[in-house]
Chains A and B, each alone.
Chain A
Amino acid sequence: MHGKNSSSIFNLKFNNSKLKKDMERQHNQAPDEAMLTLWTDGELNGDELARVELWAQDHPELLVERDAVRAMQSSIQANMPASVEPPYADFFNLRILRAIENEKAESGVRVRSTGSQWMGSKFNKWLALPAAAAAMLMCFYMGTQVSPMPESLAPMAAVSAKPAIYMPDGDVRANIFSSDDNGATVIVLEGLEDIPDDFEIVGEPRHSGSASSRAVMVNTEMIF
């Protein structure tokens, strides 16, 4: 009796165990890496969690691995800040803003020049050769019409943004440095002959009467 009962219980247990294993085989396939990542991060629930937990029971190395990864995560989170101020943070911002301002300025120029570029490209394509020929003819015509003109100060001064200096001696070069704010003008002469120490030089700039004219004449005299 006892033996028979024991045998039945054994068979029942065996069958239950077999059934369970069959179910495991059907439902408890090896989880893939993505599933294991979710499991490690505690993101699984329901059936998915049960399946992985069941699998892990037969593979204790997974539990060890999971615990190790979690410990590593804690260690990283405790020691690696998610936010670190860059050195010289104010300067960091300033440089970005400067680059942005430059970018804005450049894009403004690009927008303004878009039309002329379009025209330019068309012009280059279709009108470049005729225009060049016309320009050459125009230059030739002007050359035949303009009489030789002696060098004079006025035309130079009228077109020059910088003050022009008239020097009677062609070997002498002059550079002028002026400051409107300070009302000061310095003229540097190069190429002058050596001057004896007992010579006294007096000079003063003589501006032309016209306000628009930037011509300056240097009057130098030697006084013995």
Chain B
Amino acid sequence: MQADGSAQHPPEQTLSGKPISTSNHSSPKHSRPKSNETNDEQRASAEEDAQWVEQAKTGNTRAFDQLVTKHRGGIYAMIYNMVKNDADAWDLSQEAFIKAWKALPKFESRARFSTWLFRISHNVVYDWMRKRRIQGDGELNDEVFDVGKIDSSAPTAPRQGQRPDQVLEQRELRQRIDHALGELSAQHREVIVLREVQGLDYKEIAEIIGSSLGTVMSRLYYARQKLQQHLQSEI
């Protein structure tokens, strides 16, 4: 909570479409630093989370609401990039928060709250994919990853004052990246999203996907190669 007791605003995007991130990264090594987030801000953000978590653990739904407001942007973006569908991302993000509430008594502050939330979101997304696969008689439902149906540029706010051709160019680039991401396997897509989009460090990614550091780095290597190939093939 802020010093004046007022609710903190949710993470917002800048006019360029880049978010003013509220996620926190305690370990500068192996992490992609957010340009506008200092270590002090990260620490303050983590402490704020810890306070709200403690209050929420006592049943304080208002404190949990603050946590939802603060982290919903990151969780929604991560899940959206995995499932590539607005409506499903909306539902699954809610499911992740509800599961987080239920599991809150078990949460120990050894991990950061945001990492823990990403871990829950990872499980929610994989459960959902598994169900879809079962419903599709063993085949992954193509609609899930039919990125051609998605307005890739929708979530990104255009830069103020951008020329129309620049906006178009940015939109097309975003669309290409989205499409190439959709071509990756779920495992490869996830490490790309967590590393390149969310800017998490290898250790956090390992915690989230439940793998070793070596696996994360190796998977990231091949995922980047694949993504690179898909992007080049679209040119």
Contacts and interface: CB of A to CB of B under 8 A. Distances in A.
A100 B98 contact: yes
A68 B177 contact: no
A73 interface: yes
A121 B71 CA distance: 44
B17 A79 contact: yes
Contacts of B217: 33-34, 37-38
A43 interface: yes
B97 interface: yes
Given A40-B224, A92-B90, A79 B13 contact: no
Contact of B174 (A34, A79, A99, A100): A79
B196 A83 contact: no
A104 interface: yes
Contacts of B155: 81, 84
A81 B196 contact: no
Please report whether the interface of chain A is mostly helix, strand, loop or mixed according to DSSP: helix
Nearest to A85: B73
A2 B167 CA distance: 69
B227 to A, nearest CB: 7
B31 to A, nearest CB: 9
B101 A103 contact: yes
A137 B102 CA distance: 48
B89 A86 contact: yes
A144 interface: no
B134 to A, nearest CB: 25
A34 B227 CA distance: 17
Given A84-B13, A86-B89, A103 B98 contact: yes
A198 B155 CA distance: 73
A103 B228 CA distance: 45
B74 A83 contact: yes
A60 B97 CA distance: 47
B184 interface: no
A33 B218 contact: yes
Contact of B221 (A33, A89, A97): A33
Given A33-B217, A100-B98, A100-B101, A86 B196 contact: no
A79 B217 CA distance: 23
Given A73-B196, A99-B94, A86 B173 contact: no
Contacts of A72: 224, 227-228, 231
B174 A82 contact: no
Interface residues on B, range: 35 or more
B30 interface: yes
A76 interface: yes
Given A33-B221, A37-B218, A81 B98 contact: no
The residue among A41, A68, A73 with the most chain B CB atoms within 10 A of its own CB is A41
A179 interface: no
B8 interface: no
Interface string A47-86: 0000000000000000001001100110111111111111
Interface stretch (B47-55, B75-83, B121-129): B75-83
B22 interface: yes
Contacts of A92: 68, 72, 90, 93-94
A80 B196 contact: yes
B73 A83 contact: yes
A36 interface: yes
Given A79-B174, A92-B68, A93-B72, 14 more contacts: A37-B218, A40-B224, A69-B228, A76-B177, A76-B192, A77-B197, A82-B21, A82-B198, A83-B11, A83-B23, A92-B90, A93-B65, A100-B61, A104-B59
19 contacts: A34-B213, A41-B30, A69-B224, A76-B192, A77-B32, A77-B197, A79-B173, A80-B197, A81-B18, A81-B156, A82-B19, A82-B74, A84-B13, A85-B73, A86-B90, A92-B90, A93-B65, A103-B102, A104-B59
Closest 7 CB pairs of A and B: A83-B73, A83-B19, A34-B217, A33-B221, A83-B11, A84-B77, A37-B217
Interface of A: 32-34, 36-38, 40-41, 43, 65, 68-69, 72-73, 75-87, 89, 92-93, 95-97, 99-101, 103-104
